[in-house]
Structure 1
Amino acid sequence: MEDIFRSYWWLLFPIGAFVFGAWDRWLAYRRSRDHLDLLKSYAAQGKEPPPELIRGVADDMPGEAPGGYYPGYGNYWMSPRHMRRAYRHYYRWGPYWQWRSVFVTGAIAAGFWWASEWSDWPGTYGPFRMVAIILTIVALGNLIFAVLSSSSHRDR
Structure 2
Amino acid sequence: MASSFWEQHWWLVFAAAALVIPVGGMIASTFTTWLHFRQRREALAALKAYADSGRTPPPELAEILKAQATGPFYNVGVRFGPTPGAAPGAAPGPGDWSDPASPWADPMMWGSDRYARRAARQAMRMARWRYRAPYRRWSAVVWLAALTVGFGYAAQHATGDTANAFLVTAIILGAATVGSVVTAVIATVMRP
Tell me the TM-score range normalised by the shorter chain.
0.5 to 0.7
* Cα distance in structure 1, aligned partners of 2:190 and 2:55: 56
After the TM superposition, which of the residue ranges 104-113 and 32-41 deviates more from structure 2?
104-113
The size of the alignment, in residue pairs, is 136
- Is 1:89 matched up with 2:134? no
Distance 1:25 1:142, change over 3 A: farther
Percent identical residues = 21
Structure showing greater Rg? 2
In structure 1, which of residues 21, 28, 34 is the aligned counterpart of residue 42 of structure 2? 34
1:4-153 map, 5 Å = 7-8=12-13, 9-10=16-17, 11-63=19-71, 65-66=76-77, 77=112, 86=119, 89-94=122-127, 96-109=128-141, 121=153, 122=156, 123=167, 126-139=171-184, 142-143=187-188, 146-147=191-192
Distance 1:130 1:55, change over 3 A: same
Distance 1:44 1:16, change over 3 A: same
After the TM superposition, which of the residue ranges 25-34 and 46-55 deviates more from structure 2?
46-55
- Structure number with the higher helix fraction is 1
- Once the two structures are TM-superposed, the CA of residue 105 in structure 1 deviates from its matched residue by 0.7
| TM-score (normalised: structure 2) | 0.50
- Which has the higher relative contact order, 1 or 2, with Cα contacts under 8 A spaced 6 or more apart? 1
Contact 1:102 1:142 in 2 (8 A): yes
* Cα distance in structure 1, aligned partners of 2:35 and 2:139: 43
| TM-score (normalised: structure 1) | 0.59
* Cα distance in structure 1, aligned partners of 2:145 and 2:66: 54
SS at match of 2:51: helix
* Cα distance in structure 2, aligned partners of 1:12 and 1:100: 28
- For structure 1, the residue ranges without an aligned partner over 5 or more in a row are 69-74, 148-156
* Cα distance in structure 2, aligned partners of 1:41 and 1:27: 21
